C-alpha cells in the first residue's frame, strides 16, 4: 500500500496520486482530489465502487468497478490483513510519518503480528478521524459483511447457477464452464454436457417437458389468447381461463373455492397481510419459507416461532397466548393463525397435520397450510398432505400451494371457503395490483391437473403419482442402506443428504457433475453453518435405471468424500431373509 | 419493520445471535483453549508459569478481539444493518443478558485465571499481567457496558 505519484495512474494524466490498501476509501474525503486504489478487495457485487481495481495498467478489461484480476497474487493482501483493518492503521501511520509505504508480499509471521498491531492502531485512529464523516453516512457496502461471500461462496459457486440448454426434465444438458481465477469469472468451453441426470429440479410428477399433451395445449392457447394479460385481476385481466382454473383447483383440492395468483412467493407475502393484521397472533414454524416469513412480517401481527414440527412447543405457545392475551393490555388476540408447510424443502419433513388440526380445534385457532412441495407429491391420488393423512380438507382453513413444483408451471393458489376466497378477491394485494397469470401457464396447469385427476380419460396421472411414491421409497431406502445421513420423512420426495463440511459442498457438486449427475448442494446461509447438505428431488420422470445410476454414483462419491456418516446400518430388505437371528431392522 | 429473508430456509435474521448456543461449540472452544495450551507447553524454553500466563493472555486477547472488538457480521444479514455497529457479545441472543452462553463465556476466562494464578505460584509480575488481562475481558461483558463505547473508540 502506498502513496504513488503521477504517471502510473491509469485514469489519465493529472498526476493525482493514489493510495493503495484496504479501507482507503475511508480516507477519501480527507484527501480531497486524490484517487484511491483498493487492491484485493473485489469491486464487489453491486457496481458501486469507490475504488479502482489494482494494476489496471496491465489488465485488459478497462472498466472501473470490474473484478480485479486475480492473477497477480503478490500484491493481494491476505484475508487476515483485510479483516483486521490492517490497511487502515498502516496507512494512517504512513500518513503521519509522511513517507511512502510499499505494498509487497510479506511473510506470514510478520503479517500476524503486524495485523494485531494494526487492529489496535486502526481501532484507535479510525474513530477519532472519521467520526464526523461516518456519522452522517451509512456505508453502502461493508468489507466485513461480504467476508463469507468472498471467501467461501465465491470459491464453490460453480455448483450453482449452472446454465442449462434444455428443458429441466429427468435429464438435461449443461453448458460446460471453466474458471481460471477461482470462480470470479467463468468462461464457456463451448462444450455441452448431454444427458445429465437431474436430481435437483422440483419436477415431482415429471411435468417439466416440452412435448406432450400439456405442452401442446399451452401452445394452442398461446395462439388463441396471447402471451400476457397486461392487467390486474380486478381491472380487465380476468379471463375465462382463470375462472376455469380456479374451479378446477377447488375441485382438485376438495374445497369450496380457490383463487390463483401469478407467483408462489407473492401468494404468501401478499395474502397473509390481507388475512391478519395488528392485534393478531401468528405462530409460525422455525423453518418456514422466506415468503411466509415476509408475509407474516408485512402483516404487522405479533409473530411467535415454535420449534420445527414440535407439537409440545406449539401447544405451549397456544396456551400462553390464550391465557395471557396480548403483551401489555392482556386483551384477547383477535385471531391466532398457525403457519406451517406441508413438506419443508430443506428438511424433507412432513408436518404432523393430525396433531395440528386437533390442537387448532381445541384452542380455536386458524390453520394456514403451505403445500408448495407436497401438492401433487403426497397422497394416493396426489391431493397433498391432507389426503396423505386422510383428513378432511375443510379442517384446514386456508390451503395454499404452488403450481411450480408438481404441475410444471408457475404461480400459487389459495383454497378455502367461498367467503374466504371472495374476501381475498377484493382485499388481496395481488388481486388489485399484480398482473394476472398468463394464459399458456394457466393452460399448462389445467392440462396437468386434469391429467393428475384422470379427467383427460387416461390413467397417466395416477401412474405418475404411483411412480413418484415408488421412486421416493426406493431412493430413500437405498441411500439409508448405503450409510448416508438422510433427513426427513420416508415418504417425502425431497431428500436432503448431510454433508456437514463446507469443503464437501463444492467437492460433492463437482464430483457429481463429473460423473454426469446434476445435484443441488446447499450451505450457509440457507442452512445452519455446520449443516450443509445436498438435496435430491426425486421425480416421477426418473426411471429405475436412472435412479440406479444415480445411486451408484452417489455411493462412489460418498466413499471418495467419506460422506457415510450414519451409525445405523439398515439391513437390506431383500438380501437377508428374515430368520430367527434378525429381529431388528436397524443393526448397529 | 420489514425484512426480506430471501434465500434462507429459516426465520433467523442474524445467525450470529445463536451461534454460541449451537451444538458442540462450547466443547470446540474448550478444546481450542486446550490445544493452545498444549502448543505453548511444547515450546521448550517457556517455563510452566510463563506458559500459563501466555495462555491466559493470548486467550483473553483473542476473546477481546473476536467478541468485543470486531463489529457486525461476516455475512450479510437481512436486518438492514442493525447489527453493524454491535460487537458479537452485544449481538448474542439479541441483547438478552444472563443467558447460558453469556454465563459460560464470562466464567471461562475466570477459570483460566484461577489456573494461571495457581501455576504461576501467585508471583506478583505474573499476577499483575494476568489480572490486567482478565479485567480487559471481563469489564466489556458487564450489562452496564452494553453498547457503550469509551472515548468513542470503535464506535463506527
Burial B82-105 (b: 16+ CB within 10 A, else e): ebbebbbbbbbeeeeeeeebbeeb
pLDDT confidence of residue A251: 95
A463: Cα separation from own chain's centroid: 30
Q: What is the C-alpha to C-alpha distance for residues A97 and A209, in angstroms, rounded to an integer?
A: 69
Name which of A279, A362, A370 is nearest A325 in CA terms: A279
Residue in A closest to B62 by C-alpha: A116
Using the Cα atoms of residue A499, residue A504, residue A505 and residue A507 in order, give the sign of their dihedral: negative
- Asked if B76 and A144 come within 8 Å (Cβ–Cβ), the reply is no
Name which of A460, A520, A440 is nearest A202 in CA terms: A520
Cell output for A324: 395471557
Biggest CA-to-CA distance, chain A: 91
Nearest to A130 among B1, B71, B156 (CB): B156
Q: What phi and psi, each to the nearest 5 degrees, are found at residue A275?
A: -95, -35
Angle at A563 between CA A560 and CA A564, to 5 degrees: 110
ipTM of model: 0.86
Cell output for A16: 493525482
The residues that bridge with A285 in the sheet, in sequence order, are: A306
Q: Residue for cell digits 396433531?
A: A355
Asked if A388 contacts A381 with a C-beta cutoff of 8 angstroms, the reply is no
Fold for the domain defined by A150-198+467-566:
3.90.1150
Per-residue pLDDT 10s for chain A (588 aa) are: 443 343 344 444 443 444 444 444 444 444 433 333 333 334 333 333 333 344 333 334 434 333 333 443 433 344 443 334 333 333 333 333 333 434 444 444 444 444 445 444 444 444 444 555 666 777 666 778 888 888 999 999 999 999 999 999 999 999 999 999 999 999 999 999 999 999 999 999 999 999 999 999 999 999 999 999 889 999 899 999 999 999 999 999 999 999 999 999 999 999 999 999 999 999 999 999 999 999 999 999 999 999 999 999 999 999 999 999 999 999 999 999 999 999 999 999 999 999 999 999 999 999 999 999 999 999 999 999 999 999 999 999 999 999 999 999 999 999 999 999 999 999 999 989 999 999 999 999 999 999 999 998 889 999 999 999 999 999 999 999 999 999 999 999 999 999 999 999 999 999 999 999 999 999 988 888 888 999 999 999 999 999 999 999 999 999 999 999 988 876 666 555 555 565 565 554
Same fold? A150-198+467-566, A213-453: no
Cell output for A376: 401433487
Q: Is B22 on the interface with A (CB under 8 A)?
A: yes
Name which of A324, A327, A353, A323 is nearest A338 in CA terms: A353
Fold for the domain defined by A213-453:
3.40.640
Q: What is the DSSP letter of A162?
A: -
Domain segments of chain A: what residues? Answer: 150-198+467-566, 213-453
- Asked if B76 and A524 come within 8 Å (Cβ–Cβ), the reply is no
Q: What is the C-alpha to C-alpha distance for residues A511 and B54, in angstroms, rounded to an integer?
A: 45
The residues that bridge with A19 in the sheet, in sequence order, are: A3, A36
Q: What is the C-alpha to C-alpha distance for residues A163 and A161, in angstroms, rounded to an integer?
A: 6
Residue A238 half-sphere exposure toward CB, CA atoms < 13 A: 11
Q: What phi and psi, each to the nearest 5 degrees, are found at residue A380?
A: -65, -30
Write the CA distances from A508 to A299, A499, A518, A534, A567, integer angstroms: 40, 8, 10, 8, 21
B63 versus A61: the higher-pLDDT residue is B63
Instruction: Find the range with the poorest average confidence among A147-151, B27-31, B138-142.
Output: A147-151
- Asked if A290 and B5 come within 8 Å (Cβ–Cβ), the reply is yes
Q: What is the C-alpha to C-alpha distance for residues A242 and A248, in angstroms, rounded to an integer?
A: 10
Name which of A153, A185, A151 is nearest A40 in CA terms: A151
The residues that bridge with A174 in the sheet, in sequence order, are: A164, A193
β-pairing verdict for A533-537 and A520-522: antiparallel
Q: What phi and psi, each to the nearest 5 degrees, are found at residue B89?
A: -60, -40
**Cis peptide bond upstream of A97, omega within 30:** no
Instruction: Find the range with the poorest average confidence among A203-212, B74-83, B137-146.
Output: B74-83
Q: Which of B1, B2, B3, B5 to mutate to test the interface with A (most CBs of A within 10 A)?
A: B5
pLDDT confidence of residue A75: 39
Please enumerate residues of A whose Cβ is less than 8 A from a Cβ of B. 83, 116, 119, 123-124, 126-128, 130-131, 134-135, 138, 142, 144-149, 284, 286-290, 293-294, 297-298, 305, 344-346, 522, 524-530
pLDDT confidence of residue A396: 95
Name which of B67, B78, B79, B89 is nearest B8 in CA terms: B78
CB atoms within 10 A of CB A295: 30
pLDDT confidence of residue A146: 84
Amino acid at each position: 500500500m502506498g502513496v504513488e505519484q503521477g504517471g502510473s495512474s491509469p485514469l489519465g494524466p493529472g498526476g493525482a496520486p493514489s493510495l493503495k490498501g484496504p479501507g482507503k476509501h475511508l480516507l477519501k474525503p480527507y484527501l480531497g482530489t486524490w484517487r484511491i486504489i483498493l487492491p484485493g478487495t473485489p469491486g464487489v457485487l453491486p457496481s458501486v465502487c469507490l475504488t479502482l481495481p489494482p494494476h489496471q495498467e496491465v489488465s485488459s478489461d478497462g472498466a472501473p468497478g470490474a473484478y480485479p484480476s486475480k492473477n497477480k497474487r503478490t500484491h493481494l493482501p491476505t484475508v487476515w490483513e483485510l479483516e483486521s483493518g490492517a490497511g487502515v492503521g498502516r496507512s494512517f501511520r504512513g500518513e503521519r510519518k509522511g513517507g511512502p509505504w510499499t505494498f509487497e508480499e510479506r511473510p506470514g509471521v510478520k503479517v500476524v503480528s503486524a495485523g494485531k498491531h494494526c487492529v489496535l492502531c486502526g481501532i484507535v485512529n479510525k474513530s477519532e478521524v472519521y467520526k464526523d464523516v461516518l456519522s452522517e453516512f451509512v456505508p453502502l457496502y461493508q468489507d466485513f459483511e461480504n467476508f463469507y461471500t468472498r471467501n467461501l461462496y465465491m470459491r464453490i459457486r460453480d455448483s450453482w447457477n449452472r446454465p442449462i440448454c434444455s428443458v429441466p426434465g429427468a435429464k438435461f444438458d449443461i453448458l460446460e464452464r471453466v474458471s481460471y481465477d477461482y470462480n470470479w469469472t467463468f468462461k464457456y468451453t463451448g462444450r455441452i454436457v448431454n444427458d445429465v441426470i437431474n436430481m435437483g429440479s422440483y419436477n415431482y410428477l415429471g411435468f417439466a417437458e416440452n412435448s406432450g399433451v400439456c405442452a401442446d395445449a399451452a401452445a394452442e392457447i398461446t395462439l388463441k389468447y396471447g402471451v400476457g394479460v397486461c392487467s390486474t385481476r380486478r381491472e380487465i385481466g380476468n379471463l375465462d381461463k382463470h375462472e376455469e382454473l380456479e374451479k378446477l383447483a377447488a375441485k382438485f383440492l376438495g374445497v369450496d373455492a380457490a383463487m390463483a395468483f401469478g407467483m408462489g412467493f407473492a401468494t404468501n407475502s401478499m395474502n397473509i397481510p390481507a388475512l391478519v393484521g395488528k392485534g393478531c397472533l401468528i405462530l409460525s414454524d422455525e423453518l418456514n419459507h422466506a415468503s411466509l416469513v415476509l408475509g407474516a412480517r408485512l402483516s404487522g401481527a405479533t409473530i411467535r416461532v415454535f420449534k420445527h414440527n414440535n407439537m409440545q412447543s406449539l401447544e405451549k405457545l397456544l396456551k400462553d397466548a390464550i391465557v395471557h392475551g396480548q403483551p401489555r393490555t392482556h386483551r384477547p388476540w383477535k385471531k391466532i393463525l398457525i403457519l406451517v408447510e406441508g413438506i419443508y424443502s430443506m428438511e424433507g419433513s412432513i408436518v404432523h397435520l393430525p396433531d395440528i388440526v386437533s390442537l387448532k380445534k381445541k384452542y380455536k385457532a386458524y390453520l394456514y397450510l403451505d403445500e408448495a412441495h407436497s401438492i401433487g407429491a403426497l397422497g394416493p391420488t396426489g391431493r397433498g398432505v391432507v389426503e396423505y393423512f386422510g383428513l378432511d380438507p375443510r379442517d384446514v382453513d386456508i390451503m395454499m400451494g404452488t403450481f411450480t413444483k408438481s404441475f410444471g408451471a408457475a404461480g400459487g393458489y389459495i383454497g378455502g371457503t367461498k367467503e374466504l376466497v371472495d374476501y381475498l378477491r377484493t382485499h388481496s394485494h395481488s388481486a388489485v395490483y399484480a398482473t394476472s397469470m398468463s394464459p399458456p401457464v394457466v393452460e399448462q396447469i389445467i392440462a396437468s391437473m386434469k391429467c393428475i385427476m384422470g379427467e383427460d380419460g387416461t390413467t397417466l396421472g395416477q401412474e405418475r403419482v404411483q411412480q413418484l411414491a415408488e421412486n421416493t421409497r426406493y431412493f430413500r431406502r437405498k441411500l439409508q442402506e448405503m450409510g448416508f445421513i438422510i433427513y426427513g420423512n420416508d415418504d417425502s420426495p425431497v431428500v436432503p443428504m448431510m454433508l456437514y463440511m463446507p469443503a464437501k459442498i463444492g467437492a460433492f457438486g463437482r464430483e457429481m457433475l463429473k460423473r454426469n449427475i446434476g445435484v443441488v448442494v446447499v450451505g450457509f446461509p440457507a442452512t445452519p453453518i455446520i449443516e450443509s447438505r445436498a438435496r435430491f428431488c426425486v421425480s416421477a420422470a426418473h426411471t429405475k435405471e436412472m435412479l440406479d445410476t444415480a445411486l451408484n454414483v452417489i455411493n462412489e462419491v460418498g466413499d471418495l468424500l467419506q460422506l457415510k456418516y450414519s451409525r445405523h446400518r439398515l439391513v437390506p430388505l431383500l438380501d437377508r431373509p428374515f430368520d430367527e437371528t434378525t429381529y431388528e431392522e436397524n443393526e448397529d | 419493520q420489514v425484512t426480506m429473508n430471501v434465500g434462507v430456509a429459516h426465520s433467523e435474521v442474524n445467525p450470529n445471535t445463536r451461534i454460541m448456543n449451537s451444538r458442540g461449540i462450547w466443547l470446540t472452544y474448550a478444546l481450542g483453549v486446550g490445544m493452545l495450551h498444549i502448543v505453548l507447553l511444547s515450546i521448550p524454553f517457556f517455563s510452566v508459569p510463563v506458559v500459563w500466563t501466555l495462555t491466559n493472555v493470548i486467550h483473553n486477547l483473542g476473546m477481546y478481539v473476536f467478541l468485543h472488538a470486531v463489529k457486525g457480521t461476516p455475512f450479510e444479514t437481512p436486518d438492514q444493518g442493525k447489527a453493524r455497529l454491535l460487537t458479537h457479545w452485544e449481538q448474542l441472543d439479541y441483547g438478552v443478558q444472563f443467558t447460558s452462553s453469556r454465563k459460560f463465556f464470562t466464567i471461562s476466562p475466570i477459570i483460566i485465571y484461577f489456573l494461571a494464578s495457581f501455576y504461576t505460584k501467585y508471583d506478583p509480575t505474573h499476577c499483575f499481567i494476568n489480572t490486567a488481562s482478565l479485567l480487559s475481558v471481563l469489564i466489556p461483558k458487564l450489562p452496564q457496558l452494553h453498547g457503550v463505547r469509551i472515548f468513542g473508540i470503535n464506535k463506527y
